[in-house]
Chain A
Amino acid sequence: MHAADIKIKKYIVNITMAVFTGAVLLLGGCGSKAEPASSDKVESTDTTDKETATPKSIEEIYQDITQAVSLASPVLMDDDFIMNYYGIDASILEEYVFSMSEDATQAETVIVMKAKTTSDLDDLAACLQVVVDEKKNEMENYLPEQFTIVEKSEVKTKGSYVYLVISEQSDAILDIIEKDLAG
């Protein structure tokens, strides 16, 4: 092997090593940068998901309902009422709206509740079923049209939410609730 050949080989080896080292450094750099980027990307996706999936507050949902639908003289019931009548402890709720018609001959009821913990959802759903049963009993032999409306109603749950709509306009009200909960 000539000295010139050896020089060329050394040169090639050096270049190869330099390229390899550079590549390792670059890759290491990507690696160290990729993780947060990747994390950023995940977070960003998450954020995007949250942005699109953040439900409206129950107050906002109720506002949307009352703006779109004319409820029959609704009265908002308070913590004492929901406890004394239906045994619902307001302290387990993050937020809620419990609206009933002031007129005793109208079964119209709109209830949306957000539980602090999902483990309470079944109990809450059972309490709202009591509302349905009570209305059925009240109306059955007395106001058949209202009874039919109550019969169509159903307690629903979604995520941390439980809701019940008894109304002639239940389809429109449920659409608003479900759309607003979807965010």
Chain B
Amino acid sequence: MRRKMMVSTILLAMLLLGDYTGATVYASEEKTTKTQETEVQTKDEAKEEGLTEEELAQYYGDSVFVGDSIMVGFRNYCMKKEEESFVKGIQFLAVGSYSAFNAAKPVKGDNVHPLYKGKKYQLWDAIPLMDVKRVFILLGMNDISILGLEGARDQYKEVIDKIVEACPDVEIHILSTTYTLKGKGGGKLNNENLAKYNELLQEMAEENGWGYMDIATPISDGKGNLAAEYCSDDFVHLSSAAYDIWETELREYANTQQLEVEAETETVIDNKSTVDTMSTDKISAEKTTKEQEDARSRY
């Protein structure tokens, strides 16, 4: 009787332990699956949210922003930002009154050129010294009155061509010119012309495989003028609030650029795997034929 009870107890204990162990294994497997799901979810969310602050800092830290007084304003805005902001590491070649027309002039006398380490340089001489991967360029507002729309666009292209010649690997990203307050422009420098000029710039960017970023529309009043709340001088210069918008736009632009690069990379990988699969198929087919021939020769 006692022996029977002992055997029953042992059997019951084994069953319970077995169940328990099984449950543990199952729970562990379930946990692993859940962790993997969470990881995939987090990655997807990150992808949807875009680049991290570090990635943005890296992207723009490898960039130089070129431009006139509108860009000088952005430079000063960036200098004011906290150390951890992604715009803090941007390098600048910016000077008030700058234009494509001025950029083409030699470095001589009072000619306007941006400074790099205490010296004036033409862009195509300064940029190679800066170890950057991309150039964001904002010129033209000071050119339209002198050169007209097409003339300004052509002069702009000449300047960019010289930069590309000096640094063939840099990406070029053109920033649209921004508008003036309603009715504050004069002569050829008016918002209608600025809008047309931006169209020309966008076309030029598309034709040459350069990036184009519209920074005028997000700070406009929706009617093709600079919105009053984004103007600092009752004319054309931008307030901190406008540069806040730029910062947001730059974040989105970098994300878009990154997605395009990823899409291109995926296409290249897909093409490569297709080629690889085709090669593998060809090798297998050749192998099968050879085996069949061998078999035939054995018969």
List residues of chain A with CB under 8 Å of any chain B CB: 75-78, 81, 83-88, 100-105, 127, 130, 134, 136-142
CB nearest neighbor in B for A81: B79
Distance of A81 Cα from B72 Cα, bound (Å) = 13
Residue interface bits B94-123, CB-to-A below 8 A is 1, else 0: 011100000000000011100111110000
Q: Is the CB of A130 within 8 A of B115?
A: yes
Expressed in whole angstroms, the minimum distance between the Cβ of A22 and any Cβ of chain B is 73
With A102-B73, A104-B73, A130-B115 known as contacts, the answer to whether A141 contacts B79 (CB < 8 A) is: no
Other-chain contact of B117, A75, A87, A105 (Cβ < 8 Å):
A87
Q: Is the CB of B118 within 8 A of A86?
A: yes
Other-chain contact of A102, B80, B92, B116 (Cβ < 8 Å):
B80
Expressed in whole angstroms, the minimum distance between the Cβ of A119 and any Cβ of chain B is 18
Task: Determine the chain B residues whose CB is within 8 A of the CB of A101 once the complex forms.
Answer: 76
List residues of chain B with CB under 8 Å of any chain A CB: 69-70, 72-73, 76-77, 79-80, 91-92, 95-97, 110-112, 115-119, 232-233, 237, 240
A-B pairs with beta carbons under 8 Å apart, 19 shown: A77-B79, A81-B79, A83-B117, A84-B117, A86-B117, A86-B118, A87-B119, A102-B240, A103-B73, A103-B76, A104-B69, A104-B76, A105-B233, A134-B95, A137-B95, A137-B110, A137-B111, A138-B69, A141-B97
Task: Determine the chain B residues whose CB is within 8 A of the CB of A105 once the complex forms.
Answer: 69, 96, 232-233, 237
Expressed in whole angstroms, the minimum distance between the Cβ of A60 and any Cβ of chain B is 22
Task: Determine the chain B residues whose CB is within 8 A of the CB of A87 once the complex forms.
Answer: 117-119
Expressed in whole angstroms, the minimum distance between the Cβ of B123 and any Cβ of chain A is 15
Inter-chain contact total with CB atoms closer than 8 Å: 68
Task: Determine the chain A residues whose CB is within 8 A of the CB of B72 once the complex forms.
Answer: 104
Expressed in whole angstroms, the minimum distance between the Cβ of A88 and any Cβ of chain B is 7
Expressed in whole angstroms, the minimum distance between the Cβ of B223 and any Cβ of chain A is 25
Task: Determine the chain B residues whose CB is within 8 A of the CB of A86 once the complex forms.
Answer: 115, 117-118
Q: Is the CB of A130 within 8 A of B118?
A: yes
CB nearest neighbor in A for B109: A137
Expressed in whole angstroms, the minimum distance between the Cβ of B177 and any Cβ of chain A is 15
Task: Determine the chain B residues whose CB is within 8 A of the CB of A137 once the complex forms.
Answer: 95, 97, 110-112
Distance of A81 Cα from B112 Cα, bound (Å) = 19
CB nearest neighbor in A for B79: A75
Task: Determine the chain A residues whose CB is within 8 A of the CB of B112 once the complex forms.
Answer: 137-138
Given contacts A75-B76, A104-B96, A138-B95, 8 further A-B contacts (CB under 8 A): A84-B92, A85-B116, A86-B115, A100-B76, A102-B77, A104-B69, A134-B115, A139-B96
Q: Is the CB of A104 within 8 A of B110?
A: no
Task: Determine the chain B residues whose CB is within 8 A of the CB of A76 once the complex forms.
Answer: 79
Other-chain contact of B91, A77, A84, A134, A142 (Cβ < 8 Å):
A84
